């Protein structure tokens, strides 16, 4: 019996030691802003090491309901030290002892002053590996494109699991998830045109352009979303037209024999069919949908999202300036101004859904994701293309409001006390946080921050989304950072994180982003490749699939991955500057787009800048300087293009996410 008691005692002692180690290495509940967020930038792990007590209560600055005011990190040290009933403010997290890395990196014990993460990610990315990843990205595009042409063309999309085409859902007109996008106009082929050119495939580009000219018609009884038709189809036609007519032909010989501006004429035809959406609205904000044959449906919805109504200016503006016809840019600018004039007098923010007849905000959520994302993007990109000061002034004001009311966490990305920054969804009128989820579309924002030179914030925010990708091998459509679960778990092959990764690499030349791109590329190959293409992930945890390959996979995701690894691509080497539309279509930035025919059609009142609310107390203007000579990233001014030691900026952020990597 004595030996049994001894064994039992040793067993209990071992269990006790395991429990102590479990607590010591931070596997207990978290505390602070990311209190239940598994990729909590290290707060869970560092809490145990520093011996802090666990807390399951909401962060003190959120209040009992989880809703709080803007910029909690701006509290003074005295205020931070007087958290009622909560104890002192946690110290800034970030650095783990080296012995801790071994338990998180598969047992590898760092030495010699370095750590495993830095060893794996900060070293040079060999040219052979880069070429291999470039070819893998090109092969990914070719596999999807060739299967679309073999099994789906002339229908709009490919069903890659069953190897057949997909068009509008005629049997269920209310299926807007399909019908908003698919208009029975060979969408995937049209959307992929400039990707063929960027990859240097002149023969297939020329063949595809001729197919579009000879087989695609917009005289169809299809009710489509104005926004989707504009960014996917109109934008691609304009991009391909510019590539064909470029006298320098930087991508190789992409000219078409006897080309007579057919793509430009098709773009005009489509835009004319979209114009009825702008008629009979009391605000000038367009209807969300039109029938390409008959105009606005009689039962059309009077509610539209801000991004859908306010992200038409780039494509409509290019069309107007190429044609010398102000109509298209005029209606798009009128819609932008109408939305802008409806912003909150207090926060300067816009909501996500508006009634086009009354101007009443139906959806009062303000954030960076679905419903608002490309509105901000196109304020800046319209200025880059057209040089209109009003566009930049609106963007500057919007960015100030975003930084003031949406940004939570410490003031600096990598310095000071408090949690790392995060942009949340708030009430447009009060700035109070409305929920605790982010959506995958928000991952575009670091790329936009790169375009204005806000590199450090871009690095910091990108790290947040990449950490989620590392956890799931994809970005769930919506993720609750407090409940640590995907709220909407599907991933439709979206490009936003890839886009930001590409732009961050071009801005910093840090090889870390090549490793990120390789991670993304390999995840897509592993989890989404099927018999005839790449399939939507129905559930990012289970990796179950849906039989759909959206057109933006070829027009954006594959394109940005390819460009990330193709250092010698003409996009990076050409003397011209380039900009990408929100659908990833490439547009050269040049003086020919700086003429302003639309101004002749606007009254002085409509052209004039919207008066700032004089009674409001707004932050001091943050003037953002943009490289208007072009957005080929090699042309970003020297003071904004730099290579950073990985440890100096990104490592301090990644150190706080070490539990995932």
The set of catalytic residues is 228, 373, 477, 496
Strand partners, 225: 289
Closest among 428, 431, 458, 456 to 443, alpha carbons compared: 458
Whole-angstrom distance, CA of residue 462 vs CA of residue 468? 10
Report H helices in 473-573.
496-508, 512-527, 552, 558-565, 570-573
β-pairing, 545-546 vs 577-580, is unpaired
Closest among 599, 602, 609 to 324, alpha carbons compared: 599
Whole-angstrom distance, CA of residue 275 vs CA of residue 286? 9
φ and ψ at residue 408, rounded to 5 degrees: -115, 160
Taken in order 67, 73, 75, 78, the sign of the CA dihedral is: positive
H or E element that contains 602: none
DSSP 8-state symbol, 628: T
| Residue 405: both structure tokens together | 């009311």
Whole-angstrom distance, CA of residue 329 vs CA of residue 325? 8
Count other C-beta atoms under 10 Å from residue 13's C-beta: 10
Whole-angstrom distance, CA of residue 229 vs CA of residue 227? 6
CB burial readout 364-394, b (16+ within 10 A) else e: bbbbbbbbbbbbbbbbbbbbbbbbbebbbbb
Find out whether 237 and 185 touch, Cβ atoms under 8 Å: no
Closest among 252, 168, 270 to 212, alpha carbons compared: 270
Whole-angstrom distance, CA of residue 194 vs CA of residue 593? 19
């Amino acid at each position: 019996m004595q030996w049994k008691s001894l064994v039992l005692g040793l067993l209990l002692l071992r269990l006790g030691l395991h429990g102590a180690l479990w607590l010591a290495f931070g596997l207990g509940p978290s505390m602070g802003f990311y209190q239940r967020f598994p990729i909590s930038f290290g707060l869970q792990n560092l809490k145990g090491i520093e011996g802090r007590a666990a807390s399951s209560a909401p962060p003190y600055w959120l209040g009992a309901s989880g809703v709080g005011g803007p910029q909690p990190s701006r509290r003074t040290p005295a205020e931070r030290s007087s958290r009622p009933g909560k104890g002192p403010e946690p110290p800034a997290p970030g650095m783990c002892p080296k012995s801790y890395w071994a338990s998180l990196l598969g047992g590898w014990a760092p030495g010699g002053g370095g750590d495993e993460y830095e060893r794996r990610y900060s070293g040079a990315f060999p040219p052979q590996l880069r070429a291999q990843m470039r070819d893998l990205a090109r092969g990914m595009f070719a596999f999807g494109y060739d299967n679309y042409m073999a099994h789906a063309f002339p229908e709009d999309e490919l069903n890659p699991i069953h190897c057949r085409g997909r068009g509008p859902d005629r049997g269920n007109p209310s299926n807007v998830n399909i019908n908003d996008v698919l208009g029975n106009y060979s969408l995937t082929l049209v959307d992929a045109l400039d990707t063929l050119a960027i990859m240097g495939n002149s023969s297939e580009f020329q063949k595809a352009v001729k197919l579009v000219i000879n087989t695609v018609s917009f005289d169809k009884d299809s009710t489509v979303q104005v926004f989707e038709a504009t960014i996917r189809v109109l934008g691609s036609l304009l991009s391909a037209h510019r590539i064909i007519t470029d006298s320098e032909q930087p991508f190789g010989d992409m000219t078409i024999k006897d080309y007579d501006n057919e793509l430009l004429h098709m773009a005009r035809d489509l835009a004319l069919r979209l114009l009825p959406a702008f008629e009979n609205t009391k605000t000038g904000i367009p209807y969300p949908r039109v029938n390409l044959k008959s105009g606005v449906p009689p039962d059309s919805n009077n509610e539209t999202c801000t991004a859908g109504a306010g992200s038409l200016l780039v494509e409509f503006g290019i069309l107007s300036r190429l044609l010398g016809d102000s109509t298209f840019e005029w209606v798009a600018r009128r819609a932008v101004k109408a939305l802008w004039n409806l912003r909150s007098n207090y926060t300067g923010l816009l909501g996500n859904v508006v009634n086009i007849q009354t101007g009443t905000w139906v959806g009062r959520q303000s954030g960076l994701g679905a419903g608002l994302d490309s509105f901000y993007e196109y304020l800046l990109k319209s200025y880059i293309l057209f040089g209109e000061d009003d566009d930049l002034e609106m963007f500057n004001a919007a960015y100030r409001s975003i930084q003031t009311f949406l940004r939570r966490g410490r003031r600096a990305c990598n310095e000071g006390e408090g949690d790392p920054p995060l942009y949340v969804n708030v009430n447009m009128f009060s700035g109070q946080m409305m929920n605790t989820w982010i959506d995958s579309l928000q991952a575009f924002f670091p790329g936009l921050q790169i375009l204005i030179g806000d590199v450090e914030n871009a690095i910091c925010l990108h790290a947040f989304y990449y950490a989620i990708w590392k956890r799931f091998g994809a970005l769930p459509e919506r993720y609750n950072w407090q409940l640590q679960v995907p709220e909407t778990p599907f991933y439709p092959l979206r490009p936003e994180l890839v886009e930001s990764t590409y732009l961050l690499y071009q801005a910093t030349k840090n090889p870390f982003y090549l490793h990120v791109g390789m991670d993304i590329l390999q995840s897509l190959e592993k989890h989404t490749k099927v018999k005839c293409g790449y399939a939507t992930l129905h559930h990012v945890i289970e990796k179950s699939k849906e039989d759909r390959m959206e057109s933006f996979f070829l027009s954006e995701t594959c394109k940005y991955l390819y460009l990330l690894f193709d250092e010698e691509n003409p996009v990076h080497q050409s003397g011209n500057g380039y900009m990408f539309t929100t659908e990833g279509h490439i547009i050269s930035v040049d003086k020919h787009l700086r003429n302003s025919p639309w101004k002749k059609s606007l009254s002085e009142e409509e052209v004039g800048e919207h008066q700032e609310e004089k009674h409001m107390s707004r932050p001091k203007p943050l003037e953002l300087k943009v490289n208007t000579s072009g957005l080929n990233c090699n042309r970003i001014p020297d003071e904004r293009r730099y290579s950073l030691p990985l440890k100096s900026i990104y490592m301090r952020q990644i150190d706080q996410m070490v539990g995932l990597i």
